[in-house]
Amino acid sequence: MTQDELKALVGRAALAYVEPGQIVGVGTGSTVNCFIDALAQAQSQSQTRIAGAVSSSEASTQRLRTHGIAVFDANEVGELAVYIDGADEIDPRGYMIKGGGAALTREKIVAAQARRFVCIADQSKWVQTLGRFPLPVEIIPMATQRLIRQFAALGAEARVRLRDGVPLVTDNGQHILDVHGLRISDPVAFESMVNDWPGVVTVGVFAHQRAHVCLLGTPEGVRTIAFDAP
């Protein structure tokens, strides 16, 4: 199976975690797009009709609304039953690196609002130790050079993410550093440390908001990996 086919597979499998009438937390990225499309198809066939969604990015909001799914502001609703999102990396404890799509801050906000985080990913995202994928960090631009130096002190190289030759601007109006050369053996401590650095909006380590379940797409089908219960 191709990577796109694996993404479509786990996107459909995530429907099992969505109950009729819910407001669902929806993440960002190509795998989540497959989930949104599967959700829309289920709605049209009256299989799973939800009340709407809370979205973690402008791109996902647009896709949801194109399918006729209502999108609510996070402040308009209370606790969400489930948040469904992808990952750039996920380890055997449910800790993740996220932010390849530059939506990590809003993803972390919506994840914190949900009782259960269901991660949907293809098997290429499964790692034993986080850090192979460059770590995204959303930052306030005036802190850029100081934060680059702080990561250098850890033996890592941080680069400003560019789009069309200029710094990418997130949905929150900030910039992204992509940090290369890390090996994150203690994700909880690392997340807490970097989040405390002045100028950091959010670090893309999801340890405090880790996954409770991972639906991992493999050539043999969807592998369901359950971590500690929420």
Which residues have a Cβ under 8 Å from the Cβ of 223 and sit 6 or more positions away?
123, 215, 216, 217
Distant-in-sequence, close-in-space partners of 55: CB < 8 Å, separation ≥ 6: 26, 28, 61, 64, 71, 110
- What positions carry a catalytic annotation? 107
Residues 6+ apart with CB under 8 A from 208: 188, 191, 192
Amino acid at 186: D
CB 9 within 8 A of CB 217: yes
